[in-house]
Homo-oligomer: A and B are copies of this chain.
Amino acid sequence: MRWSKAVFVALAVLALGALGALAQGLTPQQMDQAKKIYFERCAGCHGVLRKGATGKNLEPQNLKKEGLTPAAVKAIITNGFGGMPAWGKLGILKPEEIDLMSKFVFEPVPEPPAWTFADIKKSWKVYVPVDKRPTKPETTRDWQNYFGVILRDMGQVAIVDGDTKELVKILPTGYATHILRSSKDGRYFYVIGRDGRAELIDLWSKEPTLVASAKVCLDARSIDSSKYEGYEGKYAVVGCYWPSNFVIVDGETLEPLKMVSTQGYVKSTGEFLRENRVASIVSSHFSPEWILNIKEGGQTWLVDYSHMNLKGKPINVKMIDTERFLHDGGWALDKRYFLVAANAVKKIVVIDAKTGEFVASVPVGNKPHPGRGATWDHPKYGPVWATGHIKDNKIAVIGTDPEGHPQYAWKVVKMIETISPGNLFIKTHPKSPWLIADFTVAPTPEANATLCAWQKDNLEKKPVCWEVPGARKIHARMVHIEFNKDGSEFWVSAWANKDTPSFIVVYDSYTLQEKARITGDWVRTPTGKFNVYNTANDIY
């Protein structure tokens, strides 16, 4: 049989097409680098599967449908867009990295890696066994006034003495530590990194000591311990972004005990989500439960850990359909009501930890970002809880006392106007007359360097706002307010580039005057700070 040249040419074209389909535009090395950058910088908002959540959908077919090109994507990554940081202009990603990412997002979405229970178990380490740990505090410092300070891009947590402002210890933690939570007695800090590494810091030893660690997931945001009477510190739970699940671990050793998938349907009736991430977690004081917020699916799960000691390690999961894109939140003043932001739908969901009921869904402004929120007893509205917004220059104050002040309950009683959108955290303390706000992701460096304070009892009054001296010089954004144990002062971080030593500024709670600055070569990329006493007792 003789084949004509035309047939050969046709087959050659086919072959080249087949080869072309195999050969991606990026080398395996480039793919690996891009996947790493994507995981560290992009997945949090856009999702590992790129289906979008807080950020946009970044699947190639979607980008093409929107008429986007690699060049356009490059400009967006460089200059920022909407709530997205200007990765290029801020110097976080290099031009060649941005170039790589602008190509990567047009490649098919790679299958994200798995992380099994066996992997967790293998990663689990106990550095100091429970019986080798002190039975009472070995330090003479007031460890209940320690601050755990996240040095975000250093992969470190600094323990700072709240009385003397001295650095007590720097501990190496996971990549981009996300939050710290205190055990009920304050003795332990539970640390979770965005890389899914959980760590346990013992504050009772002569100097704070890493006593256990486990890589629980590949991407995580939340951790908390059991706080209900009789179960204090017995268990902890890690909320994972990827794989989408939660993992219950031993509270004193972090030994993994149970893993529960959160893959499921949007609010029980919608599409199936492989990426259905566990956002914030709080630990109830009213029952042996954690409250978990299942982000994309729009569910709040109340996980009862009180049967874990029985055969088959039963847990009770109350699944409530609430609102989609649940993010962060905290307790109302009475610690009975939990308020959590459904940020993409501009709502605050209210859960009653006493009855386990979904109480209300309160419309607020654009992209609420409460952190844990701020709570106080207002002379007119009674107990209130407040949240700032990323995309609105507003703080929403919500009534939280259905018994004493039913007319204000689960309503925005006051929408405070601020100087700028881009607020990340607000905070107060029972001893302080002020409600303090940062503007960390505001569009201007002036706002980034500014703090504002409102009189809690007189929200009509203009706020006191001031630019923090020295912040703009080092291109720092002021972020995260935390009070000390007795509420006499609050600390705010100046979040600059990793290459630049920065500072934490300490203010008087009453006069708002600067009292001190915590400086030193170690103060790099300070962000969240967690005072032991306030964190253990949920005071904010």
Contacts and interface: CB of A to CB of B under 8 A. Distances in A.
Interface of A: 3, 5, 7-9, 11-12, 14-16, 18-19, 114, 116-117, 243, 245, 256-261, 263-265, 268-272, 300, 307, 310-322, 356-359
A533 to B, nearest CB: 34
- Which among A9, A243, A316, A356 has the highest number of chain B CB atoms within 10 Å? A316
How many copies of the chain does the oligomer comprise?
A: 2
A153 to B, nearest CB: 32
27 contacts: A3-B12, A8-B9, A8-B12, A11-B16, A18-B18, A117-B270, A245-B265, A257-B268, A258-B268, A259-B265, A259-B269, A260-B319, A263-B263, A268-B313, A307-B318, A311-B320, A311-B358, A311-B359, A312-B321, A312-B322, A314-B321, A314-B356, A314-B358, A316-B317, A316-B318, A317-B317, A317-B319
Contacts of A18: 14-15, 18
A333 to B, nearest CB: 23
A260 B268 contact: yes
A509 to B, nearest CB: 39
Contacts of A321: 258, 312-314
Contact of A358 (B8, B312, B358): B312
A259 B264 CA distance: 9
Contacts of A19: 14
Contact of A272 (B5, B114, B271): B114
A259 to B, nearest CB: 5
Given A316-B316, A318-B316, A117 B310 contact: no
Contact of A15 (B15, B114, B313, B319): B15
Given A311-B358, A314-B320, A318-B314, A269 B258 contact: yes
Which of A18, A272, A312, A317 has the most chain B CB within a 10 Å cutoff? Answer: A312
A312 B319 CA distance: 9
A314 B316 CA distance: 12
Nearest to A269: B117
